[in-house]
C-alpha cells in the first residue's frame, strides 16, 4: 500500500496467524543511519589495516622463527588477525566504555560473531600445530 500523504511506502507482511511485520520505507537514509554506516565502515578499514600491519610485522617474524614459511594465501591469516583484533576491541569497548550500547550487546550475543572468532583463531594458530601454513 502506498501512502501519498506522507510520501513513504507502508508495507505490512503477515508471517503467521500471530506474527505480522510492518515495514515503512521512507525512501531515504536518516543522518543517524548514515552516521552509523560511516562508523562501521571506518571500523572495517581500521581493523583490516591493523590486521595487515600486525600480520606483516609481528605474525610473519613469529612464524619464521618457528620455521613456518609465510607463503600461500596469507590473506587468510591477515583476516584472522584482523578479526581477532576486532573481537578484542568489541570486548573492551562493551565492558568498559559502552556498557549500555545495544549494538555491542547484540554483537556479543551473536552466534556468527563467535563462530568467525573461533575460525579466525584456528587460522592463526593452526600453523604452529602443523608446522606449515596450510592456506
pLDDT of residue 80: 96
Degrees (nearest 5) of the Cα angle 27, 104, 49?
85
List, in sequence order, every residue forming a beta bridge with 25; answer none if it has no partner. Answer: 9
DSSP state of 109: T
pLDDT of residue 16: 67
Give 10-residue mean pLDDT values along the chain (135 residues).
Answer: 50 66 69 88 95 96 94 93 96 88 87 96 95 89
pTM above 0.85, yes or no: no
Residue 132 CA: distances (Å) to CA of 27, 76, 119, 121, 135 = 52, 14, 17, 16, 9
Burial 100-129 (b: 16+ CB within 10 A, else e): eeeebeebeeeeeeeebbeebeebbeebee
**CA-based diameter of the chain, in Å?**
70
Amino acid at each position: 500500500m502506498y501512502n501519498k500523504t506522507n510520501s513513504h511506502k507502508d508495507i505490512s507482511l503477515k508471517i503467521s496467524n500471530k506474527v505480522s511485520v510492518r515495514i515503512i520505507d521512507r525512501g531515504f537514509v536518516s543522518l543517524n543511519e548514515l552516521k552509523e554506516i560511516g562508523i562501521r565502515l571506518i571500523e572495517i578499514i581500521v581493523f583490516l589495516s591493523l590486521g595487515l600491519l600486525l600480520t606483516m610485522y609481528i605474525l610473519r617474524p613469529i612464524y619464521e622463527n618457528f620455521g613456518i614459511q609465510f607463503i600461500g594465501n596469507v590473506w587468510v591469516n591477515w583476516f584472522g588477525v584482523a578479526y581477532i583484533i576486532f573481537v578484542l576491541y568489541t570486548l573492551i569497548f562493551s565492558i568498559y566504555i559502552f556498557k549500555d550500547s545495544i549494538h555491542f550487546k547484540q554483537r556479543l550475543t551473536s552466534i556468527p560473531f563467535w563462530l568467525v572468532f573461533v575460525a579466525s583463531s584456528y587460522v592463526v594458530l593452526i600453523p604452529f600445530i602443523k608446522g606449515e601454513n596450510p592456506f
